[in-house]
């Protein structure tokens, strides 16, 4: 069984045999380095209300969105959604 992770820059998908919230790697598709986030976090990020999103949210890499949400207290890693 594998877990699905998404590139924060181009949304390319990688499969891994372990489950973590994210891992840092250079993407084979786009060449960018970043935190590949677990695919389940995409729905969590999408559920953040627009009022809690900073300007430029849509142009932020996925990992930066996640970090912003944690820094601002919108999400916590002990949150059952994360």
- Predicted confidence (pLDDT) per residue in 14-27, tens digit: 999 999 999 999 99
pLDDT, residue 27, reads: 97
**The pLDDT value given to residue 75:** 86
User: pLDDT below 70 — which residues of the chain?
Assistant: 77-82
Q: Where are the alpha helices (DSSP H) in the chain?
A: 40-46, 62-71
3-state secondary structure at position 34? strand
- pLDDT at position 82, please? 47
Where in the chain are the domains?
3-71
CB 64 within 8 A of CB 9: no
């Amino acid at each position: 069984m594998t877990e699905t992770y998404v590139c924060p820059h181009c949304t390319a998908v990688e499969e891994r045999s372990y489950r973590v919230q994210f891992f840092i790697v250079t993407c084979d598709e786009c060449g960018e380095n970043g935190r590949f986030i677990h695919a389940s976090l995409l729905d969590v990020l999408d559920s953040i209300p627009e009022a809690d999103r900073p300007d430029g949210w849509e142009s932020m890499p996925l990992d930066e969105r996640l970090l912003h949400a944690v820094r601002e207290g919108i999400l916590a890693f002990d949150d059952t959604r994360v």
